[in-house]
Amino acid sequence: MGGLAHYLEAEGIPTTQISLIREHTEFIRPPRALWVPFELGRPLGAPDHPDLQRRILLSALELLEASGGPVLEDFPDEKVEPVTEGAQESEGWACPISFAPVPDGETDIEITISAFRREVAEMRSWYDIGLERRGRTAVGNFDATSASELFIGYLLGQTPPVPDLDLPFPVALRLASQDLNAFYFEAVIAKPGATTPESDAFNRWFWQETAGGKILKAVKEQCLGESDRALRLAGTLLLVPMSQA
């Protein structure tokens, strides 16, 4: 984005941006940038803190008042991550939802698919409660059912149609994986008394303990064996974080 900002400014369009990696921003030298001390993927800090997020956005927009550049300022708040009162530490967070046991007598892939379908079904009510309470969701192109069936169909050797979307299949896999991750996150924080986990705690739980994480890892491995370059690229970079591979 910093590189693109130079081209936009050359056309007379003022730009400002939020930076998560200060060293990169110092090297690229965009016209205006606000560095924030948050982890990758959270340029506005932890979710559900609108006051903090508003301050960040306003601080970034105020840089447009600078007459010259490059300008790189630090977000003035000293507090790195707002923590909900009573929240547990990342290491101590546990998912408040318990899943049903997996039945015996199935193959490995059948066990994973069966567990995955049960997980999605059991979490849907909590997701719906959270959606009703918040009035918004990060789940975008794929609901949990369509994302699930996309992955399952692919693992079973099918190429399922992408519902109502004119997307290449590798792109559909990537978007569906993002929506599934958001579905799990919004479901686990919706149960009464649940705390909002730090992202590293949630990621450990999702990728290491859920059937959803196992399904996406299986999809990744299948993509890596494809002759199609775009599918191999999706498997290499776009479905499972490198830290969880």
Side chain identity at residue 200, one-letter code: D
User: What is the predicted pLDDT for the residue at 28?
Assistant: 87
pLDDT at 155 over 90: yes
The interaxial angle of helices 108-134 and 169-188, nearest 10 deg, is: 60
> Global pTM?
0.68
User: What is the predicted pLDDT for the residue at 228?
Assistant: 93
HSE-CB of 162 using CA atoms within 13 angstroms: 14
Query: What is the overall mean pLDDT for the chain?
Result: 83
CB 116 within 8 A of CB 211: yes
* pLDDT (mean) for 31-45: 84
Side chain identity at residue 234, one-letter code: A
CB atoms within 10 A of CB 158: 11
- pLDDT tens for 48-64 read 788 889 999 999 999 99
User: What is the predicted pLDDT for the residue at 85?
Assistant: 39
User: What is the predicted pLDDT for the residue at 83?
Assistant: 40
Helices (H), 44-192: 50-62, 108-134, 144-155, 169-188
Token pair 């982890």: residue:
39
Task: Provide the phi-psi class of 103: left if phi over 0, else alpha when psi is between -120 and 50, else beta.
Answer: beta
- pLDDT tens for 135-153 read 999 998 899 999 999 999 9
Pick the range with the lowest mean pLDDT from 61-65, 95-99, 234-238: 95-99
Give the pLDDT band (50/70/90) at residue 109.
confident
Can you give the C-alpha Rg of the chain in angstroms?
21
Side chain identity at residue 111, one-letter code: I
Give the pLDDT band (50/70/90) at residue 103.
low
Residue 118 main-chain phi, psi, to 5 deg: -65, -40
